[in-house]
A and B are shown apart, each in its own frame.
Chain A
Amino acid sequence: MAAPEAEVNTHTGKLEFSLDVPFPSAEEAIIALRSLSPDREPRRGGISKQLSVSGNTLYVRWSADEARTLRVSVSSFMDHLSLVLETMEAFGPAVKLHT
């Protein structure tokens, strides 16, 4: 995984953090994306995150007003990501769907 530092966006004044998570295949990255994206951030404002997949990689981009909110969100995300990975490991591989 890359990018361990948060940076301040000098235009918006917000803290930004990014995470690039490589997966063995695009399919698995998409499964992770679809599991991790539906839930909204808890009530507390001043934080948003964007998830996307390109190739085999899941990209996560945070934008936050405060360092504390950013830390909590990233920490939760890491817990959630690791649960999804463990689930994929225990109950994968994905079945091939005939469409």
Chain B
Amino acid sequence: MTVVIGFEGSANKIGIGIIRDGEVLSNPRRTYITPPGQGFMPSDTARHHRAVILTVLKEALDQAGLKPADIDCVAYTKGPGMGAPLVTVALVARTVAQLWGKPLLGVNHCVGHIEMGRLITKANNPTVLYVSGGNTQVIAYSERRYRIFGETIDIAVGNCLDRFARVIKISNDPSPGYNIEQMAKKGSQYVELPYTVKGMDVSFSGILSYIEEAAHKMLSSGQCTAEDLCFSLQETLFSMLVEITERAMAHCGSQEVLIVGGVGCNLRLQEMMDVMCKERGAKLFATDERFCIDNGAMIAQAGWEMFRSGHVTELKDSWITQRYRTDEVEVTWRD
């Protein structure tokens, strides 16, 4: 029996989760939400995390009904992500690991998403679409590495959505992407936007510039509504993601797609991906908001796999890093 506690705080969510042999015992989380029109800055986010982290840690232990002695390993997000919030969380993880006398494990945030997706959905060997505010990658497992088949060459798809939400000043509660999704359902007019797939990769910064300008022009002249723009943006962005996912599937001969990351909660994205999957006779896997949005249990799960295959992070090597490629991790727990 192996019990791992995982600490996650690389963006505006701070979550701590406990996993025991594939069972999620607790997974409390808090989100730092900024006023409409504003994004979250590193130092403010770190301050938010710092204010709540010890409370969330107590919650994680209480909800799991465990004491520190019951934990076998302390996992935390080593990267990638925002520097100041990552440090805040790592400090607590390092300190409790020493206080409790438990080994420490630095986990790659992207690998955390993948491993949680695999655990929850039981997908066998899927093509993974990892889409969030900070990352957009198409990933497939091959020979001990999560290989990046395609990715954004500039900003993440979630970042594009979040920044557009700021332009039209919609609420960031519970998340800007969720509110865009609700508004998109009420859109009826399709506004043509640039479509920028580059081979296996995608680009979003041009679409963002275009739609920011279009919003100012078209909304003030009444040519379309904000709902129409939300609808058009989703259709465009998600079509691009479906295209590069399909391309990777064709390369790998894959019959499964797993969507992970916060943008993976979007039901329209899931719907569009499912249409493509059905056309190919493939199966789509996705998780709900508990696990596709950043959370501590996903770090615990990746940590569980890593710990059981012999990984450990020495304290002196436990520095955090804002850049940490998914394929840098040696996936020793899979064949």
Using a CB–CB cutoff of 8 Å, the interface residues on chain A facing chain B are 31-32, 34-40, 42, 79-80, 83-84, 86-88, 90-95, 97
Known: A79-B50, A95-B101, A97-B101. A84 touches B315 (CB 8 A): no
Per DSSP, chain B at the interface is helix
Query: How long is the Cα–Cα vector from A92 to B96 in the complex, in angstroms?
Result: 8
Chain B residues whose CB sits within 8 angstroms of the CB of A40 once the complex forms? 319
Chain A residue, CB-CB nearest to B46: A79
B68 touches A38 (CB 8 A): no
- CB-CB < 8 A to A31: which residues of B? 95, 98-99
Which of A32, A79, A87, A95 has the largest count of B CB atoms less than 10 A from its CB?
A87
Across-interface contacts of A97 in B (CB, < 8 A): 101
Q: Which residues of A contact B100 (CB under 8 A)?
A: 91, 95
Inter-subunit contact A39/B95 (CB<8 Å): no
B99 touches A36 (CB 8 A): no
The answer to whether A38 touches B315, judged by C-beta atoms less than 8 angstroms apart, is yes
Q: Scoring B residues 47 to 83 as 1 if CB is less than 8 Å from chain A, else 0, what string do you get? A: 0001001100110000000001100000000000001
Min CB gap B225→A, angstroms: 43
In the complex, B312 has a CB within 8 A of chain A: no
Q: Does B197 contact A (CB under 8 A)?
A: no
Which residues of B are found within 8 Å of A92, using beta-carbon distances?
99
Within 8 A of A (CB), among B98-119: 98-101
B95 and A87 contacting across the interface, CB-CB below 8 Å? yes
- 7 extra A-B contacts, CB within 8 A, seeds A39-B320, A42-B83, A80-B91: A31-B95, A34-B316, A35-B91, A35-B315, A38-B319, A92-B99, A97-B101
* A67–B58 alpha-carbon span in the complex (Å): 39
* Nearest neighbor of A31 in chain B, beta-carbon distance: B98
